[in-house]
Structure formats: structure tokens, C-alpha cells
A and B are shown apart, each in its own frame.
Chain A
Amino acid sequence: MNWRKVWVVARHEYLANLRRPGFIIMTAIVPALGLVVLMLGTVFAGQAKRLGSFLEEQFDIASQSTGVVDRSGTFSPILPKYQDQFILYEDEAQAEQALTDERVSSVLLIEEDYLETGHVVVVTTGSGFGAAAVSDSPAIRSFFIDHLLAGQVDPALQERAADPLDVESRVISSGGETQGEGPLGFVFTFVIPYILAIFLVMTIFTTSGYLLQSVAEEKESRVVEIIVSSIRPVELMTGKVAGLGVLGLTQILIWLISAAGFSGGAVALLAVVGAATIPVRVLVLGVVYYLLGFTLYAILMAGVGALGATMQESQQLAGMFSFFAAIPYMISGFLFTNPNMLVARVLSFFPLTAPTMMMLRLPLAEVPWVDVVGSIVVLLLSIPVALWAGAKLFRVGLLIYDKRPTLKEIWLILREK
């Protein structure tokens, strides 16, 4: 391996791609978003609670007037504290007229046998989601509980039954450390690292996408034969992977510096204690998975990029890798609930999904060490295999112009000594 030539290629790729508009925009997104959040924080710093209440009201359908038709007698008369919000109607027709006239936003039809069955009909206008929102509304639940227990139990107990939980999230790690105290603590401990992980994963695919683009461009412009007459294909591939890998790290570094800067700003402006709480473990392992994931994907992209006759063809071929990488995203809803579920653990040991899956899992929970070590070992073992196959496809594919090799031809290339 001629390392001087590898360095020349790496520097060339780094500088050529650093100037790409796509890279500049992508890199600027995080600082720009941080700036917007910081500006919003500055404006609303003293009004966070009021802002929260305002937003809550917008989403709580029961904060608007609700009509009630009480055939059970349990809710008549309406308790004084609910009289502003709940209006009693004699019959269904009157209530529905009020709904049509937009005097109420929904109507509760409480049947005679309510105490035995709990059966309530919710009438709303618009979509069926309105009824679901009414049934989940804390204000509606309080209305029912208060009327059921009024005069039956101690007022303090009645109040507690209507609002039994005031949740504060606190997660204790295996080392006994407390994480994520308070709602903002949760945001800074879990949400921000999770977003950062998503950005890291995006970096893997944007930078390895640049590699695909670079190979396809060299092939399409026919400069490649001049290049491979000067440098061995494996040196060319190594240089490209190194240059673009460092380009990705540059992007991550800019993001981290801006994130740290804005966290510091948040501490000063919002008086949030411990805003910069991205765990070191998540950060270090995030970079490790970035490097391993990028190397694996970049080698595969280089091999596949060399096979396509045009940029479009190369991108189509690379689509299969993007599919694998997208699998962890597809199950990210379940990951939030249980980051250590079986499917997530299995996908952490499959080379093409391991980097994405581990990056998404790490910020959400204490991932077992066996998963961390196992996935790193799997990736370390996969990279030489990818290098072997990628280098072969790259070497042969570079000189096949005007046609895409068939699967049989690809198989023959891989079998060739």
C-alpha cells in the first residue's frame, strides 16, 4: 500500500466534498436549529409554564364546553366547579342542536344503566378522533370521578382519586446514578442524545453516499482509467473511505461544538441545571459506531458504485443497503418503549443494521455490554469481508462501461482469484 497516494486521494476527496452545497447545508442544520431554539428560549424563558398550559389547552378537547345528557341522574345537578365547562341538556335533540350551533364541542350521552355498565356515548363533529380525545381527556375523567364520589368519600380522597398521579421521570442506571430529573432533564438526557444519534446515522449515509457519488462520477466522466493507471484500486478505495470518513467526523465535530455551545447558552438563559448531559458513554460509543458503520457502508458503496454504468444505476444498486439501514428506524416507535427488546437485540448483531440500531438504542437505555461488545466484534469481522468483496467489485466494475454486470457476472467477479 502506497500511503502517500492514499493521502493524496483522501485529501482530494475531503476538499472536493467539503465544498458540496449538500454538505454545507446538512452541516449548518444543527447550529441553525440550535440558534432557533435558543432564540425561542430567550423569548419564552419566563413564560415556559404559561406556554405549556396554553399548548395543553389546545390539545385538550374538554377544555372547551361539553354538553351532557344525563339519563342516569348521577351527574345532575352538575357540581359548581364544573358548571362553566359542562352544560346539562334535557334531551339528545337539544344537545345535538347545541353541538351543531357550535355552542359545545362535544356531547356526552350518559345512559340510565351507566352505574352498572359505564356506557357513555360521545357525540362530536368532524373526525372520530374527537371522540377518542374526549375519552382520554383528564378533565373528563375528573368530571366523572368527582360526580361519582361527591358526598361519598373524604374530599381530599375525592380530589386525589380524580388526579391520582403527578409523574416525575427519574431513571437510575446500573451504576446507581440518577438521570433525567424533571421534564427538561428527560429532554436533555434522552431526547437530545437520541436526535444526535439520528444525525450520526444520517452522517453515515450522507458521507458514504458522497463516496458512491464520487466513484460513479469518476466512472461516468471516464477519468477513472487515468486514475487506476496511477494508483492501485485498493489504494484509491482506501483514500476515498478515509477522506470521506474524516469529512463525516468534521460534520459531527461541528454539530457537537454547536450543541455544546447552545447547551451552555441554555444553562445561562433558561437556568436549566445540567443541560449538557449527553453521557460520555453514548458519545464515545456513538463515534465508534459511526467509524465502524461508515467504514462498512463506504466500502460496500464503493464496490456497488463501481458496478453501475451511470450515477442513477449506482444509486439504485445502493438502495438495498439503505433498506437495511432503515429497518431500525421502522421500529423506532417500539424502541422508545423498550430499547432492549429482542428484535432490537437481534438486529444489533446483524452487520448491516448493527450501527444504526446501536446508535438509536444507546441514548434510550442502559444497553447490555454483551450487545455493545458483540455488535462491535460483528462489525470488526464484517469489515474485512466487505473489503475483500468491495475491492474486487470496485477493481473490475470500474472498467465496465455502458452496461451493468448481471448477478452471474458479479458472482464470477467475486470468485475470480
Chain B
Amino acid sequence: MIIQVEDLVKRYGDFVAVDRLSFSVTQGEIFGLLGPNGAGKTTTIRVIMDILSPDEGRVLILGEPPGQAKGRVGYLPEERGLYRNQKVLDTLIYLGELKGVSRSAARERATSLLERIQLEEWAGRKVKDLSQGMQQRLQFVATLVHDPEVLFLDEPFQGLDPVNMERVKALIVELRQAGKTIVLSSHQMNLVEALCDRILLVNRGRSVLYGPLAEIKRDHAPNLIRVRASHIPPNLPGVVTTEPDDDAYNLILADDSSPQDVLRALLDQNVQIQTYEVAPVPLEDIFVAAVSGDEGGAHELA
């Protein structure tokens, strides 16, 4: 286990920001830490990064308490920036040295990263001379100078244009392929869906949904089938209602029925089927439904 959080509690005065939160992150996965604003995501990350101390609970990262593994962890905070009046390469070297890398190694790695994000010609220029998109790419690679094993990315796509968003997304995929473990916090649900293996949805400091993304999506899929067929027989077993929709039909299934049962019934009745699909449920809908319906109990799926 790369990260293990057990019964974490963090309070600010009387306000409980994180309330008995437990989860774990395994080697090489992209783990989505999701939740509405003020849910406690950033506080949780700050505790794991040893920026804040927990009030209760146990946190282990790379098998060690927070703070012991700082040199092996990278962090891209939500509130981020760089020294505007410093040179690009000097900034990367300094941040690498703060992670415990030697000056020469930091220089070598920083130069290679600048090439990777096509900013090598800007190495000797001041950060403030870079465009906003360039600065955002630079901030991203600033977390990689020490070649971390684990990466925390808090809203990495925030403020990026579509081109830079794709670049950052490609970098994240590349990092996963290189065996890095990534914790991703984002409000861009389409990107979370595309990247994450497992997610934890937090609301008011508590766990609301937790587990593999595919499993969560399957369990939250509505009982809706979209079929393009010659006709739909009346009183089809397992179907509650049938609604024509353009050149297709929407079938709402009974709770105890499955898409496989209905498909079998259609075939048994010799219906000519052109397309048959379980209607996908966007993660955003699951997110909204889970947060709106959160009455305090965690819905443990994994």
C-alpha cells in the first residue's frame, strides 16, 4: 500500500474539516480524490504532505509517517505559483534541492524536464516572462524534479486551455506508465473518468463513495436500456415502461431485472435488434446525486 489513511480527523477550532476518513492508495494507480468545494480534500492532502498535523487518526505514506518521505513525494497544490523574478532553470533547481536532490542532479533533471515540455529555450529567462500556459506547465514539472514515486495533483487542469489540458493529461498518463502512483483531485469529471482507476468522493469531511471507478459507475447506472429495433413487444418481462425516442426505444427496467435478462427476452420473441446499449451514466451525475443525497452515512462499495 502506497498511502494508508485510517480514521483521519482534522479540526479548525470547532469546525471539523475531515471526519474519520479512511482510504488507501495502491502502487501505480491513479486515485481520484473528489468532492465539492470545502469538502476537506485539500486538508486531507495537506495532512498527508505533512503541511498540517492530524488531530486524530493514522496516516502512512510509502510506509512512513508524513514528513519522513517528503523527498519521494511530489505535490502540485491548488494554490500554486513560482518565483516570478527568478530564472526558470534556477527555480527548478532550487525546488529540487529542497527535496533533497543534489544541485548537479537537480540541474540535469530540470534541463531534461524543460525539454520534455518544450521550454528549454526559456531556461535562462525569468518566470514572469513566460505566458500563463507556459507557467502552468512549468509548475507541473516543478513537482517532478526530484523524480517522485508518488504525486499529489490538486486541480492540475485548473485554468488550462484545451491544448495545455491535453498536454498535462498526456504527462499524467506517461507518469502512470512509468510506474508512478498519482492522487488526483479535480472538478473536471470527464478527465477524472478518463484517468482514474479508483476514486474517493468526500463530502463534509466524510467518505461518500469509495472504490474502483468502473464498479461505482456500474452500481450507479440507471435501469435504462436504449434499443434500436423493429418493434418492442408489449408486456416484455423485466421492463416497467417502454418509450419511443426518435428511431429507438428507451426501456426502463424493473429493479430485479438485468440488461442481460431483457436482451434474452427480446431475442426469444424474435425481435430484430440493430443496437442495444446500457445507457451510460456520467460520473458528474453520480457525483451530484451522491453529494445531494448525502445524509451522513458513507456508502462503501469496495
Contact = CB atoms under 8 A, between A and B. Distances in A.
Looking at chain B's contact residues, is the secondary structure mostly helix, strand, loop, or mixed?
loop
Residue of A12, A225, A232, A399 most packed against chain B (CB within 10 A): A225
B97 interface: yes
Given A230-B70, A399-B46, A225 B98 contact: no
Interface stretch (B78-86, B117-125, B202-210, B240-248): B78-86
Contact of A222 (B75, B81, B100): B81
A223 B81 contact: yes
Interface size class of A (residues with CB under 8 A): 20 to 34
Contact of B98 (A16, A222, A230): A230
Contacts of B75: 225-226, 229
Contacts, number: 61
A405 to B, nearest CB: 12
B81 A231 contact: no
Contacts of B86: 16
A223 B80 contact: yes
B287 interface: no
B94 A229 contact: no
A226 B80 contact: yes
Interface in A209-235: 217-218, 221-223, 225-232
B98 A9 contact: yes
A230 B99 contact: yes
A81 interface: no
Interface in A361-407: 399, 401
Contact of A5 (B13, B49, B81, B100): B100
B81 A228 contact: no
A8 interface: yes
A223 B83 contact: yes
A232 B49 CA distance: 11
Interface footprint category on B: 20 to 34
Contacts of A232: 50, 67
B13 A226 contact: no
A401 B77 CA distance: 13
B301 interface: no
A4 B100 contact: yes
Interface in A128-174: none
B65 to A, nearest CB: 13
A401 B79 contact: yes
Nearest to B74: A229
B70 A222 contact: no
A4 B100 CA distance: 8
Contacts of B98: 5, 8-9, 227, 230-231
Nearest to B146: A230
- Shortest Cβ-Cβ A-B pairs, 4 listed: A222-B81, A221-B81, A230-B98, A225-B77
